[in-house]
Amino acid sequence: MIEISGLNKRFSRGRSESSSVQAVRDVSFSIKKGECLGVIGESGSGKTTLGKLLLRLTEPDSGSILFEGIDISALNRREMRKIRQRMQMVFQDPTASLNPCMTIGSALSEALKQRGVQDIESERLRLLEKVGLGSEFLRRYPYELSGGQTQRIVLARALAVRPVFIVADEPTSALDVSVQAQILHLMKDLQKEYGLTYLFISHDLEVIRYMSDRVAVMSEGRIIELRQTEEVFSDPQHPFTQRLISENEISERALRKFSGGTRDIPE
Amino acid sequence: MSDGLRIRGLEVTFMNGQEKVRAVNSVDLCIHSGEKLGLIGETGCGKTILGMAIMRLLNPDTLIRGQITCNGTSITSISEEEMRQMRGREIAMIIQQSLTSLNPVITVGRQIAEAVELHQGLSGREARAEVIRLLSEVGIPDPEIRLDCYPHEFSGGMNERVMIAMALAGNPSFLIADEPTTGLDTTVKNRIISLLKDISHERSMLFITHDLAAAAEICDRIAVMYCGEIVECATTEDIFRAPLHPYTQGLLASMPQRGLRPIRGTGPSLAAVPPGCRFCNRCRESRDCCTTEHPELREKRKGHYVRCFLYD
């Protein structure tokens, strides 16, 4: 589905060469169709830049990005726009992702027109239903929605163009745990239903563990470890990964001490 | 005199046009001297409003009823001038979102110095020395160089430390920390938590958060807030080991570490709260009485309070 090799991106800060930052360094990997690749790393390790490069929302300095066999790093704007319908990005702050002056209904219509859908009315309702919302949301504005509802709308709008690949950049880190659980379940259901491929970026290791088939660990722009999710958690190889895992354990320490207490609640 | 913080029958009501919105409803809480109380709940449940009410930082046209006393002084009845004397010295708040709370065009050292000058009456070189001491207390390396930096030159975790240093400038005995770990990655979060544990060692603290793991690490007791009300309050161990309220149980079960089982539905709007239990539309155990009668917060076991008809 996706195959990238030798991807590099440097951002310059100020004029001098020395103050520039190499956000992504020589990154290569592939993602299979229907797979979820998790990306973990500390703030500033290059996770978001990597996600944007894959969609060419940021232009890479060098390297190639093969998407369904086509090298998209060489495409011109028009060709890229066509292919971008098949890939979507979901951002961390859902409220900032929607136009505040536009009703939910028109935000969805805009995306559907892009795809050339004839029967926009019924397709909008179908999309809302998919993300668990009713038709009353069509007339609402983003400020009238809660964080969880907004993220559902963002997902509905992403799905409107029928993508096959979604980059999700910390999609639940602005949400409460109870809402996070709803959105993660929704994303897994949608993945199954549409056969979606995900690049899932998060600094929450527990979320990554739940969502991903494989995990890539980033540090200072490099991928330092990329393996099956359970292997990364049970037997981290790189010292940096080991540190991330042990930091995660420290933050879980108190919770583990108070284990139990969660009665079995039926699904 | 140091007997902690007591809140009795607190109600906070906003006027939204002609509509009344009660964001905090009949809250009774007590934080003993030296105790760390966690206040957990979802966005919009009234956690921050409760913190702001204690600091008396809410808009003057907000209707506030009930009693708040801090170390014997009635916060709800003293004059604005007396309150100004208390803020920062008796009781200080670490405000949410460090980056937007700091002034981007003033150095962090200057911003902390303002608080130092106000609370300790120091100036010039003495104030600067105190700022350096505060910065090193909150774990900022090379404080004598770093105090001349601007907030944008600091990382999220460093700015959070600056906020904490500002709150400590008046050496308060009571701290309110509002979501101090939100948006930080795990490594930084762990460091901020251990810093908060250090500085609250001989202080009382109200720790407002939706991060349950952080609350478990820091707090002696936890109060769970839902839709403007405290629905459960008990020791941290009881909350995590034997939660009674279906909402608390749901909140714990929705954590990835505990199975990631979401609570169905969404809570009611504060502008249109149902007459009965506020959680009943999402509750798996709701009965007929839950939709019509409003449950009271009752002591179910010693020190374990719950607002639910299941235990009547």
CATH number of the domain enclosing A149: 3.40.50.300
Residue B61 and residue B164 share a domain: no
Integer Cα distance of B111 and B124 in angstroms:
14
For the four alpha carbons of B58, B64, B70 and B74, in that order, the dihedral sign comes to positive
Task: Please answer whether residues A85 and A117 qualify as being in contact, where contact means their C-beta atoms are separated by less than 8 angstroms.
Answer: no
B249–A146: do the CB atoms touch at under 8 Å? no
| Contact (CB<8Å) B217/A254 | yes
| CB spacing of B43 vs A149 below 8 angstroms | no
Residues B60 and B197 in one domain: yes
Within a domain: A13: no
From A247, which residue of chain B is nearest by alpha-carbon distance? B187
| Residues B120 and B257 both lie in one domain | no
Nearest CA in chain B to A182: B262
B244: closest chain A residue by CA:
A261
- Establish if A262 touches chain B: CB-CB under 8 angstroms: yes
* Burial label, B220 (beta-carbon count in 10 A; 0-12, 13-18, 19+): middle
Per-residue pLDDT of chain B (312 residues; tens, 9 = 90+): 457 899 999 999 998 788 888 999 999 999 999 999 999 998 888 999 999 999 999 998 899 999 999 988 999 999 999 999 999 999 999 988 777 889 999 999 999 999 999 999 998 999 999 999 999 999 999 999 999 999 988 888 899 999 999 999 999 999 999 999 887 888 889 999 999 999 999 899 999 998 899 999 999 999 999 999 999 999 999 999 999 999 999 999 999 888 889 898 888 888 888 999 999 999 999 999 999 999 999 999 999 999 999 998
- Residue A23 resides in a domain: no
Asked, for residue A152, whether it belongs to a domain, the answer is yes
User: Is A42 an interface residue toward B (CB < 8 Å)?
Assistant: yes
- Reference B91, options B11, B27, B177, B160; nearest CA is B177
Question: Is the torsion defined by CA of B106, B112, B115, B117 positive or negative?
Answer: negative
What span, in angstroms and rounded, lies between the C-alpha atoms of B192 and B157? 7
Query: Which domain-ending residue is among B136, B170, B204?
Result: B170
Supply the range of the domain harboring residue B113. Answer: 100-170
Instruction: Give residue B230's pLDDT.
Output: 97
Contact residues of B toward A, CB < 8 A: 42-44, 155-156, 183-190, 193, 210, 212-214, 216-217, 236-237, 240-243, 249-263, 266, 284
Of the candidates A145, A178, A104, which has an alpha carbon nearest to the alpha carbon of residue B269? A145
> Per the domain annotation, does B147 fall within a domain?
yes
In contact, B268 and B274? CB cutoff 8 Å: yes
pLDDT at B298: 95
| B49 & B165 share domain | no
| Residue B278 within any structural domain of the chain | no
Residues B251 and B109 reside in one and the same domain: no
Q: pLDDT value at position A174?
A: 80
- Are A207 and B256 in contact by the 8 Å Cβ rule? The answer is yes
A64 beta partners: A5
Same domain, B18 and B31: yes
Q: What is residue A15's predicted lDDT score, i.e. its pLDDT?
A: 65
CB within 8 Å: A261 and B190: no
Question: Same structural domain for residues B159 and B262?
Answer: no
User: Taking CB atoms and an 8 Å cutoff, what residues of chain A touch B16?
Assistant: none
- At A256 the pLDDT is 83
Set of chain A residues whose Cβ sits within 8 Å of the Cβ of B189: 251
Residues B37 and B26 in one domain: yes
- Inside any domain, residue A125: yes
Does residue B193 fall inside a structural domain? yes
**Shared domain check, B197 and B115:** no
Same domain, yes or no: B249 and B182: yes
Asked if residue B164 and residue B194 are part of one domain, the reply reads no
The residue count of chain B comes to: 312
Task: Please state the domain count of chain A.
Answer: 1
pLDDT of residue A265: 46
CA angle centred on B207, ends B203 and B211, rounded to 5°: 145
Contact yes or no for A149 and B266 at CB 8 A? yes
* Domain count within chain B: 2
Residue A222 per-residue DSSP state: E
CA distance B260 to chain A (A): 5
Judged by a CB distance cut-off of 8 A, whether residue A229 touches chain B is: no
Among B43, B214, B240, select the one facing A147 at the smallest CB separation. B43
Residue range of the domain that includes A233: 2-7+36-52+59-253
* A176 in contact with chain B, both atoms CB, cutoff 8 A: yes
Gap from B213 CA to chain A (nearest CA, Å): 6
End residue of a domain, out of B112, B136, B170: B170
Answer whether residue A263 is part of any domain: no
Last residue of a domain, one of B142, B170, B198: B170
Residue ranges for chain A with pLDDT beneath 70: 14-18, 260-267
Residue A237 within any structural domain of the chain: yes
- B237 domain residue, yes or no: yes
B48: CATH: 3.40.50.300
Identify whether B95 is part of a domain: no
Q: Are B216 and A149 inside 8 Å of each other by CB?
A: no
pLDDT at A264: 46
One domain, residues B33 and B126: no
